[in-house]
Structure formats: structure tokens, C-alpha cells
Amino acid sequence: MRKIVNPLFETFVTLYETKNFTKAGELLFISQPTVTVRIKKLEEELGVSLFYRGFNQEITPTPAASVLYKSAVRYLREWEQLQADLLKRELARSPFKIATSQSAGTKILPSVLKAIEPFLDKIDVNVIMTDSETVLSMIDNHTAHFGIIEKPLASDSIDAFEISKDELVLAGDLSNGVFFRREYGSGVGYFTSKFLKEREWKPRHIIQINNNDVIVAQIKAGLGASLISKSFVEEGMPYVTLGEKYKRKFTGIYFSEEKNPLIKAIIDEIKDKIKLLKV
């Protein structure tokens, strides 16, 4: 931007600092004759000589050049700062934080991001992957704008809508007595605790892993069993269904008293586009 607005000042400052027409041209990506023309034009406009010319392109700044240099540097810096401030203002975006549980992040987040695509020029999106209870707390405290949870939770300050249905199944090999479970507070962890209390089968070893993909990898390796979403079951992976009690809903949640019209419009768009998805 500086070159467009005031190439004369930029050429002068560069020549003053290099004391060489050829080097100044190289730094500015212009020819040496262009440097000469610009300096001559600036001298004509100011009515003073700026450089004493010597042999072999050697130059010495005049007293007038020393005075002008300080002002020119200050001018260019202020102009550069002005351009940066204007650009920053133009690009200023509203934060939009999404908090989601892991299963929801894997299966539903792509549809959420697709729904908010028309707003990406106006927002900075930040996605937090955590457990369902933390997601609820973030929305409740208004530290996140939209959340997706996978277990029944509620708050007076939160509105919710069903996004999709899901089913948990018991997948993997039970013979070695190893059971992988998600952490307490997670959506799958909630159903896992209920499962372990209800079933007569008791695992000899319980290993807690706070990542669905890692648990699925252990099941695929034949190292044990776990409760996972039926949508994560891959070809050849053994599993059994567990009945209606283990069918769940993915729920979209947001702060009920949201005042920001842009955030409200984004949430309305999400509700319209991803309601009742088939996972």
C-alpha cells in the first residue's frame, strides 16, 4: 500500500539509507533509472537538492535530506499503521465457540460447520472437544455459543433441540475380561456406568480411555470390549445390541437469553439445517 500512496517518500528513504542508486533499486524491485527519476521529481516538488552526487554512483545526503528523512520515516510508519488498523477493523470478526462431545464431534460437527458456512466471513470459529457435562457448563456460563451433548442433561438457562438419534452397542471380544470405558462425565461414560450396574457380566479389568477413536482401535485389535456408538462399528467387528435403554439422542444446546443478533441468526441456521440428522 505504501508504494501506491507515496513511492517518492519510500524511494527517498531507501536511497538515504543505502547511499546507492543501484542498491536502492534492488531493494524496491525497480530499475536504477526509476530511482533517479523519482528522486529528481521529489527534489522538484520540494525545491531543494537532497543528495550530492559523486563518482561511481556515490551520494551524500544534503542537510535538507537529513531533515526530510526523519519526517518521511515517521510519515511512512504512520501510514503503515493506519493501513494495518483499517485492515484489522475490516477483518474484525465475532467469536463463535462450539463445544461438543467426542461422538458428536465425529458424527455431527461436519454438518454444523456446513450449516454455518455462510457466516464464516463474520466469525472466528473455535471448536472445543470435551465431555457432555463440561459442554453443558460452558453453555450455561455463556463461555460457548453452541453445544452438542449425548446424554440427558438440562439447565434453566439453556434451550435445546434434538439433532439426531444414536444407539450404543456392546462391541468387541468379551473372552479376556478386558473392558474399555470412557471417562466419567462423558455421554458414553454415563451409559457405561448404567450398563456395568445392570449386567451380570463383570469385567476382570477396566481400562479408562478418554477418546472414542482409541477405544475403537483397541476393539479392532481384539484386546477387549466396550460400549460404542453403532455408527462406529466396522465390518467384521462383533457386537450385540442392548435394547431401548441404550438408544440416545444427540442434542443441540444454546444460551436461551442470547442477545447478539449474529449469534442468534447462526443458531437459527444450525437448527434449520441439521435438525433430525440421520447419523
pLDDT digits (tens, 9 = 90+) for 176-217: 899 999 888 787 888 898 888 888 778 999 999 988 889 999
**Are 52 and 131 within one domain?**
no
**Are 173 and 236 within one domain?**
yes
| pLDDT of amino acid 17 | 93
**Are 36 and 49 within one domain?**
yes
Of 38, 63, 90, the one marking the end of a domain is 90
**Are 129 and 180 within one domain?**
no
pLDDT tens figures, 96-107: 999 998 888 888
| pLDDT of amino acid 1 | 38
- Residue 60 domain boundaries: 2-90
User: What is the number of domains present in the chain?
Assistant: 3
**Are 14 and 110 within one domain?**
no
**Are 148 and 252 within one domain?**
yes
**Are 253 and 158 within one domain?**
yes
Angle at 140 between CA 135 and CA 141, to 5 degrees: 100
% of the chain at pLDDT higher than 70: 95
Of 32, 61, 90, the one marking the end of a domain is 90
The 3-state DSSP composition of the chain as helix, strand, coil percent (nearest 5) reads: 50, 25, 30
Number of other CB atoms surrounding residue 214 within 10 Å? 10
Taking Cα atoms as reference points, which of 256, 180, 255 lies closest to residue 216?
Answer: 180
Check: pTM over 0.75? Answer yes or no: no
Lowest mean pLDDT among 136-145, 185-194, 244-253: 185-194
**Are 195 and 100 within one domain?**
no
Residue 1's identity, in one-letter code, is: M
Of 58, 90, 122, the one marking the end of a domain is 90
Q: Rounded to whole angstroms, how far apart are CA atoms 16 and 47?
A: 18
Q: Across all residues in the chain, what is the average pLDDT?
A: 88
Residue pair 37/11 in contact (Cβ under 8 Å)? The answer is: no
State the angle between helix axes of 21-28 and 7-18 in degrees (0 to 180), rounded to the nearest 10. 130
CATH of the domain at 83: 1.10.10.10
CATH of the domain at 229: 3.40.190.10
| pLDDT of amino acid 201 | 73
| pLDDT of amino acid 80 | 86
pLDDT tens figures, 110-132: 999 999 999 998 898 999 999 88
| pLDDT of amino acid 275 | 65
| pLDDT of amino acid 3 | 42
**Are 106 and 178 within one domain?**
no
Q: Is the pLDDT of residue 18 over 80?
A: yes
Extended beta strands in the chain, E state? 51-53, 59-61, 94-100, 123-129, 146-149, 158-172, 178-181, 205-208, 225-229, 239-241, 247-255, 277-278
**Are 104 and 212 within one domain?**
no
Within 13 A of 67's CA, how many CA atoms are on the CB side? 7
Mean pLDDT of 221-244: 92
**Are 135 and 260 within one domain?**
yes
| pLDDT of amino acid 90 | 66
**Are 229 and 254 within one domain?**
no
